[in-house]
Amino acid sequence: MPIRALDPRVVAQIAAGEVVERPASVVKELLENSLDAGSSRISVEVRGGGVSLIRVTDNGSGIPSGEVGLAFDRYATSKVANLEDLESIQSLGFRGEALPSIAAVAEVDVITCAAGEKAGAYLSLQDGVISSQGSRGRSQGTTVTMSNLFRKIPARLKFLKSVATENSHIANVVSQYALAFPEVKFSLLIDSRVALRTPGSGRLIDSVAEIYGTEVAENMIELNDKAAALSPRISGMVGSPRVSRSGRGYLSFFVNRRWVNSRMLARAVEEAYHGLLMVGKHPVAVISISLPAQEVDVNIHPTKSEVKFRNDSAIFSAVHRAVRQALTEQITVPRVEVATTQPIFPSAVRETASMPYAGASSDSITPAPTPAMSLPVLWVLGQLDNSYIIAEGPDGLYLIDQHAAHERILFEKINRQRSQRDIEVQGLLEPMTFEVSPRQEAILKTRCQDLAEFGFAIEPFGDRTFLIRALPALIHDKDWAGMLRELLDSLSQGDKGDWAEDVTITMACHGAVRARQSLSEPEMRELVRQLEQCDTPHTCPHGRPTMIYLSSSQLKREFGRT
Ligand code: ADP
Ligand code: MG
């Protein structure tokens, strides 16, 4: 075929394909236009999964009647005028592509009235060409109605999922913008049913409550970035580890109020929860990042859903630090009471106050230390049910789960010894044999060297048998064979997590005192003393709590004293 220029309609459809992938893309573009127009109230109505109809109505600036037709020309925009503007984009839109793209793949109607104009204007387009226009009364604002998406492009229509799935994508887009703009009243009607309505109070927590429900909202912790004067500024909310979720869909990021996807940001948040969530659980977070427009390139993708930061590692550390700090401040067991009462043993508290603000002056991406999580000095009172240690602190009662607490102690000890290459090893007088399944054998063969780092001296000894010459001192008198098998099985199930951490957790678990094991007073005192010295004493390595705390004021309240 000879080379020739494509028909403009084909060009329009190819270009539209980049912007309009599915009905939710149309909703996103129309919402962004309404937000750029300064609207305080935006309603979205969809039918048939957004294929039959999408209508977005706002009370924003409106489009001057003389410019309505122009808005549908490709690359026509009121938001940037020159190259410099492109360097410092403040608006959500800037490419001038959305309206023409939508009009290329669906029928579109717009009714709009700009400030100061007596009558509004309307315009209809079929196949991207104006089919009728005129004036029409309405209050200030704009209504864009799209119908019959992809009717003329059956190939695209085929790629859409069920109505329910498309609706859920639409609901997600509206929800994300409702989280990004709590001061705007959003409503979403799906096939005439109210799917979402936010109050537009300006308080993020109100939007969170509407979108994720009150249980999540009650467990959100506000980010209070102490480095707020610095750039980037991180704000928003994260869920306490109590409201973790099994999917990653509860992480929202806004960069200069633009909803973006970013693996780097997701990793920064997830790492901040390290050790606080159970394996396989994910946090809830709504995080806004504000920074000078020059520090971020928003023009790398036609849907504008990805951005490129000039300094990734600075953003990573800022987000990580803000989240970790919020979590550690909240997770400190004595919460509100600490602020109101003078601690009797102020050592732990003093440490917090004098700690330099971790990471504030560096771009390092290592997790910040967690000073606020330290424990005060505790006085052991006794053991309950051979499983829990009862202890008294400066301002309340602590019930400590002996197994979980010991796991935490051993976990930190193994990590410390490993980083100093100083694992305590117990050599065996007589080597012992260790039999494994074929599957376990395959794995163990490749892992002998890695296990040596933890104090295991293991070598292959023929037919599905290994010879053990030394063991980590921590578990040499425990069921180490069971522990090794558990570890090998967890790996053979295709678990590609952090192997070293898995070994550490498994060793800590097997080395720790069990529940229903009677402890002497000196043993309990020693355990509590070691727990006091842990960096993260409040959770076990699996993320479960190691203790329950009852403050003196709570006790008084319970007994009806004031
Ligand atoms: P962009 O948003 O990138 O400028 P669009 O194709 O989405 O491109 O919109 C083109 C222009 O139409 C915008 O620049 C804006 O001036 C105008 N416009 C679109 N929607 C609205 C709206 N809801 N309210 C006011 N103006 C709008
Ligand atoms: Mg736009």
Lowest mean pLDDT among 45-49, 141-145, 425-429, 528-532: 425-429
Residues that place a CB less than 5 A from ion ligand 2: 33, 93, 98
Q: Which of 415, 481, 484, 426 is nearest to 455 (CA)?
A: 426
**Cα 87 from Cα 434, distance rounded (Å):** 65
Q: Whose CA is closest to atom 8 on ligand 1?
A: 96
- The yes-or-no verdict on residue 346 having pLDDT over 60 is no
- At 228, the pLDDT band (50, 70, 90 cuts) reads low
List CB contacts of 137: < 8 A, sequence separation 6 or more: 113, 119, 120
Q: What is the mean pLDDT of residues 411-431?
A: 87
pLDDT digit string, tens, across residues 179-226: 999 999 999 999 998 999 999 999 999 999 999 888 889 889 999 866
Lowest mean per-residue pLDDT among 20-34, 60-74, 548-562 = 548-562
Give which of 374, 411, 390 is closest to 542, Cα–Cα.
Answer: 411
Closest-lying ligand 1 atom to the alpha carbon of residue 58: 23
Strand pairing class (285-290; 251-255)? parallel
Q: What is the pLDDT of residue 337?
A: 30
Lowest average pLDDT, out of 111-115, 194-198, 227-231, 315-319, goes to: 227-231
55 lines ligand 1 (CB under 6 A): no
CB of 187 shorter than 6 A to ligand 1? no
Q: Is 239 in the pocket of ligand 1 (CB under 6 A)?
A: no
Which is nearest to 61 in space by CA: 10, 104, 114, 8?
Answer: 114
The pLDDT of residue 25 is above 90: yes
Rounded distance from Cα 223 to ligand 2 centre (Å): 31
Which are the contacts of 133, defined by CB distance < 8 A and separation ≥ 6?
68, 69, 121, 122, 123, 124
Secondary element (H or E) of residue 144: strand 141-147
Nearest of 306, 286, 102 to residue 198 by alpha carbon:
286
Average pLDDT over residues 311-329: 90
β pairing state of 379-384 and 308-309: unpaired
- What does the DSSP assignment read for 210-275? HHH-HHHHHTEEE---TTTTSSSEEEEEEE-GGG-BSSSTTEEEEETTEEE--HHHHHHHHHHTTT
Identify the residue with better confidence: 439 or 30.
Answer: 30
Give, using CA atoms, the residue closest to atom 17 of ligand 1: 71
What pLDDT sits at residue 365?
29
Q: What percent of the chain has pLDDT over 70?
A: 90
- How far is Cα 403 from Cα 188, in angstroms, rounded to an integer? 49
Residue 28 clears pLDDT 80, i.e. is over it = yes
How far, in Å, is the centroid of ligand 2 from the Cα of 434? Answer: 66
DSSP 8-class letter at 367: P
Mean pLDDT over 117-145 rounds to: 94
Helix (H, G, I), strand (E, B) or coil at 492: helix
Q: Is the CB of 531 under 6 A from ligand 1?
A: no
Query: Tokens representing 216?
Result: 């999540």
- The predicted model gives 47-51 an average pLDDT of 96
Give the pLDDT band of residue 373 (cuts 50, 70, 90): low
Contact 284, 238 (CB under 8 A): yes
Those residues with Cβ within 8 angstroms of residue 433's Cβ, 6 or more apart along the chain or in another chain: 461, 465, 466, 467, 468
Q: Is it the case that residue 83 has pLDDT exceeding 90?
A: no
Answer whether residue 480 shows pLDDT above 80.
yes
98 lines ligand 1 (CB under 6 A): yes
Instruction: Say which residue the tokens 């053991």 belong to.
Output: 383
- Mind listing the pLDDT tens digit for each residue in 137-179? 899 999 999 999 999 888 888 889 889 889 989 999 999 999 9
Looking at residues 45-61, what average pLDDT do you find?
Answer: 97
Q: What is the pLDDT of residue 496?
A: 55
CB of 37 within 6 A of ligand 1: the answer is: yes
Residue 351 pLDDT > 60, yes or no? Answer: no
From the CA of 94, which ligand is nearest? 1
User: What is the pLDDT, as a whole number, of residue 67?
Assistant: 94
Question: What is the per-residue pLDDT for 411?
Answer: 95
Which residues fall within 8 angstroms of residue 361, CB to CB, at 6 or more apart?
A: none
pLDDT tier, 335 (very low <50, low <70, confident <90, very high otherwise): very low
* Run of H or E residues at 31: helix 23-36
User: pLDDT at residue 279 above 80?
Assistant: no
- For residue 493, the model assigns a pLDDT of 56
Q: What is the mean pLDDT of residues 278-282?
A: 78
**What per-residue confidence (pLDDT) applies to 353?**
27
Structure tokens, 476:
């040499």
**Ligand 1 lined by 513 (C-beta under 6 Å):** no
How many angstroms separate the Cα of 368 from the Cα of each of 234, 250, 322, 324? 16, 24, 10, 7
Please give the number of the atom of ligand 1 that sits closest to the Cα of 78: 14
Structure-block tokens of residue 503:
């070994």
Task: Kindly state if the Cβ of 302 falls inside 6 Å of ligand 1.
Answer: no
pTM of the model as a whole: 0.66
- Residue 333: which pLDDT band, with cuts at 50, 70 and 90? very low
96 in contact with ligand 1, CB cutoff 6 A:
yes
Neighbours of 516 (CB within 10 A): 10
pLDDT value of residue 281: 80
Average pLDDT, the chain: 85
Residue 19 Cα to ligand 2 middle (Å): 10
CA 475 to ligand 2 center in whole angstroms: 63
pLDDT tens digit sequence for 525-552: 999 999 988 988 988 988 888 998 888 8
What pLDDT does 192 receive?
92
Average pLDDT, integer, range 65-81: 89
Name the pLDDT band for 43 (thresholds 50, 70, 90): very high
Minimum CA distance residue for ligand 1 atom 20: 33
- What pLDDT digit, counting tens, does each position of 296-310 carry? 988 887 777 889 999
User: Mean pLDDT throughout 58-83?
Assistant: 91
Residue-level pLDDT at 323: 93
Atom 13 of ligand 1, residue of closest alpha carbon: 77
